[in-house]
Amino acid sequence: MGTEVKICGINSHEALQSAQLSGADYLGFVFFPKSPRHVSIEQASALTRQVKPGVKKVGLLVDASDDEIRQILAQIPLDILQLHGGEPLERVAEIKRTFGLEVMKVVKISDKKDFENIPPFEEIADRLLFDAKPPKGLKNALPGGNAVSFDWRLLSGKSWSRPWMLAGGLTCDNIKEAINISGAPAVDVSSGVEDEPGVKSADKIALFASLAKNV
């Protein structure tokens, strides 16, 4: 079985169709207004109605309130809630308990000390996603999608009791190396398959997915 692929930041019909044609296993919809990939509830509702059975619909949230999550779920049948902010352990558990959906907690990595944050979340979250911590001094840094990677060797030989994904600065040029070094069973790409921030490239999506699934 090849590496699973998540295409995040789906915000148009063209991006959605390209991702599905490429065989993406997960489609990510960003509900964070400051992101160039942000979608409104109305946009995401229209797009998710086109998602094929078996493809997981993931909602990227950043420190969202219960009311915000309820408004999204009232119109969009998400499969997974991706918590990409600074949500503490108690909040992750609360969201999972309140909404009854799979929760994927993002852990931001810059060095090996950051792995100390993983075990508590491993007990609560259904999935983990390891993303690069934005470098200090990076202007207009986003919670994710900054086209920044971390040292994949930090993941080499490690395993967790929960399914996990690798994110952060992945592109068609480095995805094979990233998987070979990290051993990632699933990868998440956003800016790495764009022609400009928020504008997905059908060719890059297809190539990325093909490379990842054939490592």
Question: Beta 80-83 vs 26-30: how paired, if at all?
Answer: unpaired
Active-site annotation holder among 8, 25, 172, 188: 8
Letter for the amino acid at 2? G
Is 131 in the active site?
Answer: yes
Question: Beta 199-200 vs 26-30: how paired, if at all?
Answer: unpaired
Question: Beta 194-196 vs 199-200: how paired, if at all?
Answer: antiparallel
Q: What angle do CA 62, 65, 66 make, to 5 degrees?
A: 130
**Cα separation of 19 and 3, whole Å?**
15
**Cα separation of 61 and 74, whole Å?**
15
Active-site annotation holder among 25, 131, 172, 188: 131
CA distances from 215 to 44, 175, 204 (A): 31, 9, 17
The set of catalytic residues is 8, 131
